[in-house]
Structure 1
Amino acid sequence: MSEYYDRHEDATYTKVYKDTTPDVLAAFGAFDQAVFAAEGRAIPLKYRELIALAVGLSTQCVYCIDAHSRKAVAAGADETELAETAWVATAIRAGGAYAHGRLAFKLAGAHTH
């Protein structure tokens, strides 16, 4: 999917949302601004951006990876923190596959006593 990614060109397609569902777009924008407000949250912005980056890495959303890696750095994250965030996302995805592997055994009836 990333071969289709163009940070600047893709943003122009926001016009479709503006033209067709402006109320939903406005609500989403307000929600996103509240979640990533610089002040007034218990979790500091840098950590919220690193969380967002980890989710983006887990979902493999190139838009999220682009935006939140840059925003995390702007909020004070360094390369080591970005690396550790990537490793956390990796561990969670791997753990999910491990846990769901057990489910595969169960569903396949492969568990022997």
Structure 2
Amino acid sequence: MTDYLDREHDKTFTKVYKQQTPDILSAFVQFDESVFRAEGREIPLKYRELIALAVGITTQCVYCIDGHSQRAVTAGANEAELAEAAWVATAIRAGGGFAHGRLGFKFGADAAAPSDSATSASHQH
């Protein structure tokens, strides 16, 4: 994972956003700052950062994991809370696999032999 994560060097590529789409970058920065502002939100910052960490783990975004784990600790999260956030993410991914696995059965049934009612209806024509 760390082979492609270089905190300082990777920031230099932000210049592409600054040069090519400065208006969108500015809007994104304002949006992100609003979401993660320390005060004025119902969900305390520590929990928003733990949520962001879990989402980062779920989406397997090393940059999100890096930034939000550090920001969660800065906001007061401890190692046990980081661990629980990781387990929440793990459960969500596993649950998604379980739930989508059922689609395999559903779609597989579509390829199975037609049901008696479908066969009967086709013979009537």
TM-score strictly above 0.5: yes
Paired residue for 2:76? 76
Structure 1: gaps spanning 5 or more residues = none
Paired residue for 1:36? 36
CA distance in 2: counterparts of 1:18 and 1:80, whole angstroms:
38
1:24 paired with 2:24, answer yes
Paired residue for 1:4? 4
Q: Give the Å deviation of 1:4.
A: 1.4
Paired residue for 1:101? 101
Q: For residues 48-107 of structure 1, what are the alpha-carbon distances to aligned partners after superposition, in whole Å with 9 as ceiling and x for unaligned? A: 000000000000000000000000000000000000000000001000000000011101
Q: Give the Å deviation of 1:5.
A: 1.4
Paired residue for 1:51? 51
Aligned length: 111
Structure 2: gaps spanning 5 or more residues = 113-125
CA distance in 2: counterparts of 1:96 and 1:2, whole angstroms:
27
CA distance in 1: counterparts of 2:2 and 2:89, whole angstroms:
19
Paired residue for 1:90? 90
Point out the more displaced range, 28-37 or 2-11. 2-11
CA distance in 2: counterparts of 1:31 and 1:2, whole angstroms:
28
1:64 paired with 2:82, answer no
CA distance in 2: counterparts of 1:35 and 1:69, whole angstroms:
16
CA distance in 1: counterparts of 2:6 and 2:34, whole angstroms:
26
Q: Give the Å deviation of 1:2.
A: 4.7
Larger radius of gyration: 2
RMSD (Å), alpha carbons: 1.4
